[in-house]
Amino acid sequence: MEIRSACVAAPDRQAPSVNEDLVLAGPDFVVVLDGATAPAGVESGCRHDVAWLVAQLGGALVAPLLGRSRASLPDVLAEAIAAVGAEHAGTCDLTNPDSPSSTVAMVRVGSEAVEHLVLADSPVLLRAPDGRVTVVADDRIDFLPDYSLATVRRMRNHTGGFWVASTEPKAAYEAVGGSTDRVEVEVAALLTDGAARYSERYGHSWDELLGVLEGDGPQALIDRVREHELAADPVGFRGKRYDDATAVLCRLTP
């Protein structure tokens, strides 16, 4: 599997070296994480920041994947969430609903199938040899009744709300996932919402997004997103004007 990636912090970060996205890859897998930045003044009950959670979760996910674990991707994720929880249960309040959290996108390529898992808003794109594009997305956060702090807190990791990787291993089994016959996948792309907004916010088709990834590369996609962000009316959409952005392009060998 040929893998190309770019992972770039938001340009308005006070500490540009801090990037709450993470890409980890091996010969037959890719993992992309996007930490959820807490609003100012929110008490998470955790002595660690979001970047710590992302790094710990990434390490816990990669170990079994490198070890060729036969566990399903939801099982791998559930065990990773539990392992990270055990790392700081003695120092942090894991019952706090505002505990640090992360999205998860995973692809694992086997001899017969390509497995995929998406938890929260970091989509996976799969393109077949005939050009058909399948979007694996978890859009439940788009259907909250409102986006006040109280509502988001109440509906995070609850049935009828949305799910993220935080302190609840059961969230792994709420992910959007499945598998596709390997012969039906020529290209896979994994994106955090900071890169996926090229289509989701700025109106380009998923085919156009893949075209940029393949033609000009992941960094070029992020550069185009930055151009849109700079030109956009900052009051014209929900959420942050700028975000950390990650794009990964995987080309499967025949």
Q: What share of the chain is helix, strand, coil (3-state, %, to 5)?
A: 35, 25, 40
- The CA distance from 192 to 34, in Å, is 6
Percent of the residues in the chain that have a pLDDT greater than 90, as a whole number: 88
Strand order in the sheet with 113-119: 21-26, 29-35, 102-109, 113-119, 176-181
CA distance 85 to 63: 16
Residue in the block written with tokens 């289509």? 199
Compute the distance between CA of residue 75 and CA of residue 90 in angstroms, rounded to an integer. 24
Query: Whole domain around residue 129: which residue ranges?
Result: 2-251
CATH number at residue 230: 3.60.40.10
Q: How many CB atoms lie within 10 A of CB 68?
A: 9
pTM: 0.95
What was the pLDDT predicted at 232?
Answer: 82
What are the phi and psi torsion angles at 18 (to 5°)?
A: -90, 120
Tally of domains within the chain: 1
Joined tokens for residue 73:
């991707």
Q: What is the pLDDT of residue 225?
A: 97
pLDDT tens digit string along 234-248? 776 667 888 999 999
